[in-house]
Amino acid sequence: MQALLFPGQGSQFVGMGKDLHEQYEEARRIFEAADEALGFPLSQVMFAGPEETLRETRNAQPAILVHSLAVWKVLDLDTAEGDWVAAGHSLGEYSAYAAAGALSFEDAVRLVRRRGELMFAAGQERPGTMAAVLGMGAEAVTEVCAAIDGIVQPANLNSPGQVVISGEIEAVRKAGEQLKARGAKRVVELSVSGAFHSPLMEAAAGGLSKALSGVAIEPARFPVFANVSAEPVTAPDEVRESLERQLMSPVLWEPSMRAIGAQEPEGFLEIGPGQVLRGLLRQIDRSRSCRTLGTADEVQTFRGDS
């Protein structure tokens, strides 16, 4: 069994996917299909920037999904044979469902564009922030957040000693002070446009639910471990529910990796830009190997090894 990992927001960079576009016809068709589905040249923003435009949530999210699925298309792995499982970090869960055939490529691109627009708007309507807490476990972080007046909660359980909190600005900052007093090594406020994966995303979640109701969802060809439950999902109604709940719920990344690890996969493949998920996996379980497949060179080497 192989485990597929799809990265989330923050992995974008100017120039992403350009080498794949230049060297693979299959990738070019993916970029062209994305531009057509969205009605504007997202590929040019990916290849040439400017960085501020690419970093916008409404652009970064589809850019990462398109890059990931371009790699997936070029790899052309036969998921009909052998065992496969997948997981995607927040936005990356959409990439995973698209790779598994639960979402069409065009629907996935349009959904994550809409998701980014809704998340940004919700952040303007109900301002919030996020902070990375380093050197403290999820249980202690949860306990501190629960004692703070205002809205603040764990948003990403990324790895042992790396938990991201999210909520109202003042509540997040008060929680950060308490966490440092309790022994956290560092608390770093993140540059984000809203309090993602918290109740402050309620308006976005409502809009996203409406968008999801308008797309067809098929049974996934292989299980995707959902962020909200760290459990495998294949049925269309479960896919829809997991994506609807995701915006206001913590990303259970470490529990998902441990659940996948319990199935003893032969290896992990990070499909898309960057190597954030490879780094988190090393923090979770150093015995697991993870190969990053995001550039034309990495794909060529992998295909030559196959």
Give all domains of the chain, ordered by start, each with its CATH number: 2-124+198-305 (3.40.366.10), 128-189 (3.30.70.250)
CA dihedral of 257, 300, 92, 186, whole degrees rounded to 10? 60
The tens-digit pLDDT sequence of the chain (306 residues) is 999 999 999 999 999 999 999 999 999 999 999 999 999 999 999 999 999 999 999 999 999 999 999 999 999 988 776 689 999 999 999 999 999 999 999 999 999 999 999 999 999 999 999 999 999 999 999 999 999 999 999 999 999 999 999 999 999 999 999 999 999 999 999 989 999 999 999 999 999 999 999 999 999 999 999 999 999 999 999 999 999 999 999 999 999 999 999 999 999 999 999 999 999 999 999 999 999 999 999 999 998 854
**Residue with token string 């008060």:** 174
Q: Report yes or no: 116 and 63 within 8 Å, Cβ to Cβ.
A: no
Tens-digit pLDDT profile for residues 30-67: 999 999 999 999 999 999 999 999 999 999 999 999 99
Q: What angle do CA 246, 248, 253 make, to 5 degrees?
A: 50
**In this predicted structure, what is the pLDDT of residue 79?**
78
Rounded-to-integer distance, Cα 55 and Cα 214, Å: 27
Residue of 17, 168, 158 lying closest to 90 (CA atoms)? 158
Report residue 58 as tokens.
Answer: 């409404």
Which residue spans within 198-306 are E strands per DSSP?
A: 224-225, 232-233, 267-271, 290-293
Q: Which residues form the catalytic set? A: 90, 197
Sign of the dihedral defined by the CA atoms of residues 270, 275, 278, 284, in that order: negative
